[in-house]
Amino acid sequence: MKHALTALALLLCAAAPSCAGEDDILIADFEGDTYGEWKTTGEAFGPGPARGTLPNQMEVTGFLGKGLVNSFHKGDGTTGTLTSPPFKIERKFINFLIGGGGYLDETYIALLADGKAVRTATGPNTQPGGSEELAWHSWDVTDLAGKEAVIQIVDKRTGGWGHINVDHILQSTTKKQTPEEEINVAELYNETYRPQFHFTARKNWLNDPNGLVFYKGEYHLFFQHNPTGIDWGNMTWGHAVSPDLIHWEQLRNAIEPDKLGTIFSGSAVVDWNNTTGFQKGDEKTIVAIYTAAGNPFTQCIAYSNDCGRTFAKYDKNPVLPHIVGGNRDPKVVWYAPGKVWVMALFKDKDIFAFFSSPDLKTWTQLQDMAVPGCGECPDFFEMPVDGDKNNRKWVWTAANGHYLIGTFDGKTFTKESGPHVADHGKNYYAVQTYSDIPEEDGRRIQIAWMNGGKYPRMPFNQQMSFPCEMKLRTLPEGLRICRTPVKEIEALRAKEHKWNDATLKPGDNPLADISGDLFDVRAEFELGDATEFGFRARGQAVTYSVKDKKLSCLGRSAELAPIANRIKLQILLDRTTIEAFGNDGKVSMTSCFVPKVKDKSMEAFAVGGSVKIVSLSVYELKSAWRK
């Protein structure tokens, strides 16, 4: 009987595509300089396997060895195919690592048998942000045992995430899986992917910052919020306050939907002169100006006489009826010379408008303005040039942060330059600056929605950027806005690691003994013979290319010329963000990423030669949420 069972087992094993214990059969590991017998069409796959990350690509991780298939050759605009030679299916599973675009008909890997696709898979990404990390995928091919097949990797897409990454294709008796990382969701405000010094809603969705206003020692942050769901919808004005732009307390929702519609973006002002007549006591009235997103969209106001704790809607809303399309996002500023309120409003497509009012209730249109490449969420404010209060310019911005510089006489804005790009990161949108900052402070402080960030399994969705001070400076190319983190970040410093007059050579890493997930890095380098240098935080690089004179981070880059042969960098690292600033804010890059939970590494690096560290301070930061 024992011999019969053994014979039966051998017979079943011979009929099956594999038996436990059999070795894996490698189809391709892409470690060579060429693709060997694999055939390419088009340009997307380049002349051979990539050695990791390609130029202007977010850092690619998760592949094995040194090489992989990466169709980002020359960017997302190229297309092509990569096809294997025929092979026989001899195991139960075909396993491979895959990442990149998630478009089933455009960026995919396919198993072809008898000339037909019998299995397919794609990367995970279809939206801005995302991750270039490869993960294991498996096909069960038991039913195809003994058949001849080929593998074809396809890139037909030319838009965002128009590439695919593949590595280490093998036949196996077992299914390979990428182990899930341990994620904490139990401890409120200390969840695995909860930013620790960027504002997030306690739970559920947020987007645009709204109604940024300062009054009696408090910074108010109203924000687009879905109080009942993790995704966009049911737009309501959420509300938080802070004494220092660092420590936030979320209050009850400020303005909720009504018969005129859900509550879209807008602004807030302190009505110091009681132009509305709403003031009913000693406290000055805070007035919110917002879009009621009904059918049609109209502009409305609400007011508070208790320091923003409660709001009453104006009983004669809307104050500005529907004009065209999805007109929305009123941003209001007081124009002191004319003693009038001025509103910047998005009308439709790339058209914006200005209006004026004596009382925030009745509005007269001043002008229309077309700004190609811009839409939504205008802002409008005056700034001193190089800190000179007697030399001032007016600045207009759109949702994407692109800005115009010009003059304003109370009736007409006259553009002198722009649009210019304020930030080169991939998660920077719906920007707004604070109203009513005291004159003795005088700063112009901006917050953006870091749109498109990913927060797997978190109770909240989306976050704000860290507040930045904006300065209008005279640069060789003309007047430009420079953005740097507000000085209040210094309150979170816990420990400093410091270097001066040191040489950074290839292979060196002075930060090797430092680990964590919250840092403020400030550095000044003097160029040497290094071709590149920079920092790597939790696996993500901020790189300066000496040849190209560009700063790069998470797949984005910006021109940054040295000043007196030196480059200054500041990097803010939070649990899901890297914000990089070059040469005192001449370049800023605001971006999100999803880190590997266990990777808390820090690195300073040089490539191709050495660079001098004039000064380097790495500040470990405390959480703003923990008391």
Please write the tens of the pLDDT for every residue from 36-88. Answer: 999 999 999 999 999 999 988 888 999 999 999 999 999 999 999 999 999 99
Give the C-alpha distances (Å, rounded to integers) separating 592 from 167, 235, 257, 347.
25, 23, 30, 30
Which residues, 6+ apart, have CB-to-CB distance to 420 below 8 Å?
A: 402, 403, 404, 405, 480, 481
Distance from C-alpha of 253 to C-alpha of 255, rounded to nearest angstrom: 6
| Strand duo 468-475 + 444-449: pairing | antiparallel
Please write the tens of the pLDDT for every residue from 341-375. Answer: 999 999 999 999 999 999 999 999 999 999 999 99
Catalytic choice (208, 329, 436, 517): 208
Residue type, 380: F
Supply 562's token pair: 């040295």
Please write the tens of the pLDDT for every residue from 193-204. Answer: 999 999 999 999
* 130 — pLDDT class (breaks 50, 70, 90): confident
Task: Give CA 236 to chain center in angstroms.
Answer: 23
pLDDT at residue 126 above 80? yes
Which residues, 6+ apart, have CB-to-CB distance to 158 below 8 Å?
A: 76, 77, 78, 79
Supply 93's token pair: 């599973």
- Residue 129: predicted pLDDT: 65
pLDDT at residue 29 above 50? yes
Distant-in-sequence contacts of 622-625, Cβ < 8 A, 24+ apart: 622/492, 622/493, 622/494, 622/518, 623/189, 623/190, 623/196, 623/197, 623/492, 623/518, 624/196, 624/197, 624/246, 624/247, 624/248, 624/492, 625/189, 625/190, 625/194, 625/196
DSSP class of residue 491 equals G
The DSSP line for 122-144 is: --SB-SSS---B-EEEEEE-GGG
- Other residues' Cβ atoms within 10 Å of the Cβ of residue 534: 27
CATH of 205-422, one of 3.60.20.10, 3.40.50.300, 2.115.10.20, 3.90.1150.10: 2.115.10.20
pTM comes to 0.80
Distance from C-alpha of 402 to C-alpha of 501, rounded to nearest angstrom: 38
Distance from C-alpha of 16 to C-alpha of 463, rounded to nearest angstrom: 52
Which residues, 6+ apart, have CB-to-CB distance to 265 below 8 Å?
A: 208, 210, 224, 290, 291, 328, 329, 376, 377, 430
- Let me know if the fold of 18-172 is the same as that of 489-621: yes
What element of type H or E holds 117? strand 116-121
CATH class of the 489-621 domain in this structure: mainly beta
Average pLDDT, the chain: 94
Distance from C-alpha of 463 to C-alpha of 92, rounded to nearest angstrom: 44
Whether a cis peptide bond, with omega within 30° of 0, leads into 55 is no
Supply 438's token pair: 């005291």
- Residue 208 falls in the annotated catalytic set: yes
Supply 403's token pair: 């800005």
Length of the chain: 627
- Residue 212: predicted pLDDT: 98
pLDDT at residue 315 above 90? yes
3-state secondary structure of 207: strand
Please write the tens of the pLDDT for every residue from 75-103. Answer: 999 999 999 999 999 999 999 999 999 99
List the one residue out of 549, 543, 542 whose CA is nearest residue 572. 542
- Residue 37: predicted pLDDT: 96
Distance from C-alpha of 301 to C-alpha of 315, rounded to nearest angstrom: 9
The DSSP line for 416-470 is: EEEEE-S--SSS-EEEEE-B---TTT--EEEEEE-TT---TT-SEE--BPPPEEE
Return the percentage of the chain with pLDDT > 70, whole number: 96
Distance from C-alpha of 200 to C-alpha of 212, rounded to nearest angstrom: 15
Give the C-alpha distances (Å, rounded to integers) separating 419 from 162, 371, 378, 395, 422.
28, 8, 13, 10, 9
Let me know if domain 18-172 sits in CATH 2.60.120.200. Answer: yes
The DSSP line for 335-393 is: EGGGTEEEEEEEEETTEEEEEEESSSSS-EEEEEEE-TT--S--EEEEEEETTEEEEEE
- Residue 177: predicted pLDDT: 84
**Which has more pLDDT, 577 or 13?**
577
Whether a cis peptide bond, with omega within 30° of 0, leads into 318 is yes
Which residues, 6+ apart, have CB-to-CB distance to 402 below 8 Å?
A: 371, 373, 374, 418, 419, 420, 421, 422
Q: Is the dihedral of CA 454, 456, 461, 467 positive or negative?
A: negative
Distant-in-sequence contacts of 334-342, Cβ < 8 A, 24+ apart: 334/269, 334/272, 335/408, 335/410, 337/410, 338/410, 340/410, 341/269, 341/275, 342/366, 342/380, 342/408, 342/410
pLDDT at residue 285 above 80? yes
Residue type, 434: Y
* 21 — pLDDT class (breaks 50, 70, 90): low
Annotated domain spans of the chain: 18-172, 205-422, 489-621
* 182 — pLDDT class (breaks 50, 70, 90): confident
